[in-house]
Chain A
Amino acid sequence: MTEVVSENSEVTVLLVDDNPQNLKVLYETLKDKGYRLLIANEGQKALDLAHRHQPEVILLDIMMPDMDGYEVCKRLKAEPSTTDCAVVFLSALDDLQAKVKGFSLGGADYISKPFQSLEVIARVKTHARVIRLERELQARNRELQGDQARILNSISEGIYGLDENGVIEFANPAAAQIMGCPVDELIGRNFFETHFATCQEGQNGLPGHTTCSQGVAENRRNIRMLRMDGSGFPAQYRSTPKLDQGELHGAVVVFDDITAELQSEAALEEARALVQEQRDQLAHASRLTTMGEMAAGFAHEVNQPLTAITNYARVSKRMMAKEEPDLGLLGETLDKIEAQSHRASEIIRRIRRFMKKPATGKEVISVPTLLEDTRQFAEVDMRNNDGGIELSVPDNLPEVTADPIQVQQVALNLIRNALEATRSADVSIPVQVSAELLGSSCVRVQVRDHGIGLSDDAEDKLFLPFYTTKDEGMGIGLATCRSLIQAQGGDIGFERPEGGGACFYFTLPVAGSSGAPCAPEQSSGIEEG
């Protein structure tokens, strides 16, 4: 047996014939055609060479002693490493039976003896090309499959391929890791029975079931799945139907253990709750401070009706002491007493409501009512010679969703600041409080004064905690205001109005509007202006 290597041989051709003369002819025909040529003169040698070199094309004589061409072909096809090579039978036999048998054993073609050299060259060339392409294709396929496998293996989420009954056909290593079981033990198990405690009660409604049975994609979070040892874990999963030309072949389920995620979410939620609680507490403390500052005003405010009540009571007593008391007049006076005690209790009610510890939470509120209430509140704090507070609100203003006490706190804070600025400037132009609809989902409340105004420097730092322009201020007011308004989904800001003074505004979402309709970018106006 000889091995002859042609130059630039990429394609290997094995020539098998027991007749040396025939081998010589074939060799002569094919040499210098760019093939690597191998030669064998009996079946067993041909198999060994084929196994070692995996030739693309084998020219195989049928009639050979010991092992004939048919047997060689059969064995070549049975061996994975040689199954793809093109076997071209050579025989003097020119009958149909022989050809059919050759093809049925996996032969690719047939060349009759005596050989026509052009025919041999053409057929070898054709089959060599076909096999070459096939092998490249297979190599590419293997590459792709390798990539896919690597992707599936490296993905941290578990992936199952299920058939339409929920039997696991495929599992990636992550699935095995999550479930605590090797991949090959997972395969063949029923997904529903293995991973869900409630499976005995029926598979309907179990995750992925409608995908397997009806081809409906699912996506759920915080589902309880069981590991192989029976322990449970919270999972998130997506299942998508496996479809082949419109036909349902089960589902692909991608799942993940979200224990850690849920824990960090819970921690985040807890932190958020804490922030909210602290904001509420700060807001409450700030309300108490405000009330403290306004105490003298409230005392005066409550003393007015009390004084009137005392006076009316005395008058009534005197009327009754008369010989013929004027009962009509007495009744009128008693009515007045009643009205005044209502007035006093109303003031106290307002104070108590404002001081209430936890804010009441968001509700649908009427801005005009809230502002009027706040105006009366703020007037308590007005000093002599103050110009007062002017309120202008359109009748058709929609209601907003917000915490009424916290919004009142903000409005009161802004109005009191405005009164103070007005007072400091020694002017008596009223503080103007107005409200308007901004777009369709946002109400803007504005407090404008003609007071001393703000320096450019102050403007930037206004809403920062502990920044204050007041001698006795803590710098908490506006920072708290901003935090409160942002908690309502609104925005708060300052504008430098023409004609001096200051203008503060805040926005609140209209009741029923969705999203964050009053987010800062809507009303910043810096880019536009």
Chain B
Amino acid sequence: MTDIQQTVYVVEDDEAVRDSLELLLKSDGKPVQTFENATSFLKEYSDKMAGCIVLDIRMPGMDGMELQKKLNDKHSILPIIFVTGHGDVPMAVDAMKEGAVDFIQKPYREEALLEKIEAALAQDLEQRKTLDEKQEIIRRVKSLTPREHEIMDRMIAGQANKVIAIELEISQRTVEIHRSRVMHKMGTHSLAHLVRMVLSVKDLIDAR
């Protein structure tokens, strides 16, 4: 697993709020990148971005909610903290349903905001670690030959070597060799662990 550089991405249309927030977060020692609207953030977005988004819910042009949907479509896992105004609670609730980490109402106390940012960054780190692990599993799965992949699927399905040998019309000895290769390539000694690993990335593999 590589060391991740986390950044706080601030998307805020109001120049003063944007500028002051940037100064504040920088003074707290956090890398900050600011965007004056949702479109410019979307343009720069890549799945390499790590950290969290502090997103104003109310902006001219594309608003915060819309940006959230677009990011969801791109399978972004960046946690979003919505910044809302006085009358925007219903919107914030919708945003939470769409997977936002949190929301904070303007004007906010610095402590509250920083706390939420820390939590978001931690969550991002966690997700990213998990994601890294998953990607390692996928990498390993991809290193299997088609025959090995097939044998692994049957192992996970709980078929005994003998059954696999009969159904694939190969010798039981050949099945055993494939089986030990699968275990080696997937980096495990236990069938239970293999099952867990493959199931954890099932949705990612299916998605492709």
Residue pair B86, A308 in contact (C-beta under 8 Å) = no
In the complex, the chain B residue whose C-beta lies closest to that of A329 is B23
Residue pair A308, B17 in contact (C-beta under 8 Å) = yes
Q: Which residues of B have CB within 8 Å of A333?
A: 23
A343 to B110: give the CA distance in the assembly, Å.
Answer: 21
A310 to B23: give the CA distance in the assembly, Å.
Answer: 12
Q: Which residues of B have CB within 8 Å of A340?
A: 16, 20
Most buried by B among A300, A307, A310: A307
Q: Which residues of A have CB within 8 Å of B86?
A: 296, 299-300, 303
Pick from B58, B66, B88, B107: contact of A307, CB below 8 A. Answer: B107
Residue pair B87, A299 in contact (C-beta under 8 Å) = yes
Residue pair B58, A384 in contact (C-beta under 8 Å) = yes
In the complex, the chain B residue whose C-beta lies closest to that of A333 is B23
Residue pair A384, B59 in contact (C-beta under 8 Å) = yes
Main secondary structure of the interface of B (DSSP, over half): loop
Determine if B94 is an interface residue (Cβ-Cβ < 8 Å).
no
Interface residues of A (CB under 8 A from B): 295-296, 299-300, 303-312, 314-315, 318-319, 333, 336, 339-340, 343, 382, 384-386, 388
Main secondary structure of the interface of A (DSSP, over half): helix
A315 to B14: give the CA distance in the assembly, Å.
Answer: 18
Pick from B23, B28, B65, B85: contact of A312, CB below 8 A. Answer: B23
A528 to B21: give the CA distance in the assembly, Å.
Answer: 60
Residue pair B108, A304 in contact (C-beta under 8 Å) = no
Given A314-B24, A384-B60, A303 and B109 touching (CB < 8 A)? Answer: no
Residue pair A307, B17 in contact (C-beta under 8 Å) = yes
Per-position binary interface string of chain B over residues 107-127, scored 1 when its CB falls under 8 Å from any chain A CB and 0 otherwise: 111100000000000000000
A132 to B179: give the CA distance in the assembly, Å.
Answer: 159
In the complex, the chain A residue whose C-beta lies closest to that of B91 is A384
Residue pair B23, A311 in contact (C-beta under 8 Å) = yes
Given A300-B58, A300-B87, A308-B20, A384 and B63 touching (CB < 8 A)? Answer: yes
In the complex, the chain A residue whose C-beta lies closest to that of B84 is A300
20 pairs, A vs B, C-beta closer than 8 Å: A295-B87, A296-B88, A299-B85, A299-B87, A300-B58, A300-B87, A304-B14, A307-B107, A308-B20, A309-B107, A310-B108, A311-B23, A314-B24, A314-B27, A318-B28, A340-B16, A343-B16, A382-B60, A384-B61, A384-B66
Q: Which residues of A have CB within 8 Å of B28?
A: 318
A307 to B21: give the CA distance in the assembly, Å.
Answer: 9
A314 to B20: give the CA distance in the assembly, Å.
Answer: 9
Residue pair A307, B23 in contact (C-beta under 8 Å) = no
Interface residues of B (CB under 8 A from A): 14, 16-17, 19-21, 23-24, 27-28, 58-63, 65-66, 85-88, 106-110
Q: Which residues of B have CB within 8 Å of A311?
A: 17, 20-21, 23-24, 110
In the complex, the chain B residue whose C-beta lies closest to that of A314 is B110
Residue pair A312, B20 in contact (C-beta under 8 Å) = yes
CB distance from B42 to the nearest CB of A (A): 15
CB distance from A313 to the nearest CB of B (A): 9
Residue pair A388, B108 in contact (C-beta under 8 Å) = no
CB distance from A3 to the nearest CB of B (A): 118
Residue pair B85, A296 in contact (C-beta under 8 Å) = yes
Q: Which residues of B have CB within 8 Å of A307?
A: 17, 20, 106-108
A309 to B23: give the CA distance in the assembly, Å.
Answer: 12
CB distance from A62 to the nearest CB of B (A): 125
Residue pair A385, B106 in contact (C-beta under 8 Å) = no
Pick from A304, A314, A388: contact of B106, CB below 8 A. Answer: A304
Residue pair A310, B110 in contact (C-beta under 8 Å) = yes
A340 to B28: give the CA distance in the assembly, Å.
Answer: 22
Given A303-B86, A311-B20, A315-B27, A386 and B110 touching (CB < 8 A)? Answer: no
Q: Which residues of B have CB within 8 Å of A384?
A: 58-63, 65-66
Q: Which residues of B have CB within 8 Å of A314?
A: 24, 27, 110
- 3 closest A-B pairs by beta carbon, nearest first, are A296-B87, A311-B20, A384-B63
Q: Which residues of A have CB within 8 Å of B19?
A: 308, 336
Residue pair B60, A386 in contact (C-beta under 8 Å) = yes
Q: Which residues of A have CB within 8 Å of B88?
A: 296, 300
Residue pair B16, A308 in contact (C-beta under 8 Å) = yes
A305 to B17: give the CA distance in the assembly, Å.
Answer: 7
Q: Which residues of B have CB within 8 Å of A388?
A: 60
Residue pair B60, A308 in contact (C-beta under 8 Å) = no
Q: Which residues of B have CB within 8 Å of A315?
A: 20, 23-24, 27
CB distance from B183 to the nearest CB of A (A): 54
A79 to B86: give the CA distance in the assembly, Å.
Answer: 111
Pick from A303, A319, A336, A385: contact of B107, CB below 8 A. Answer: A303
CB distance from A67 to the nearest CB of B (A): 123
A242 to B86: give the CA distance in the assembly, Å.
Answer: 82
Given A300-B86, A311-B21, A315-B23, A385 and B63 touching (CB < 8 A)? Answer: yes
A188 to B87: give the CA distance in the assembly, Å.
Answer: 87
CB distance from A322 to the nearest CB of B (A): 10
Pick from A295, A300, A305: contact of B16, CB below 8 A. Answer: A305
CB distance from B17 to the nearest CB of A (A): 5
A194 to B58: give the CA distance in the assembly, Å.
Answer: 83
In the complex, the chain B residue whose C-beta lies closest to that of A295 is B87
Pick from A295, A308, A310: contact of B109, CB below 8 A. Answer: A310
CB distance from A324 to the nearest CB of B (A): 15
A385 to B65: give the CA distance in the assembly, Å.
Answer: 11
Most buried by A among B21, B66, B88, B106: B106
Given A303-B106, A314-B110, 18 new contacts (CB under 8 A): A299-B85, A299-B87, A300-B86, A300-B88, A300-B106, A304-B106, A305-B16, A307-B108, A308-B17, A310-B108, A315-B24, A315-B27, A336-B20, A339-B16, A384-B58, A384-B59, A384-B65, A388-B60
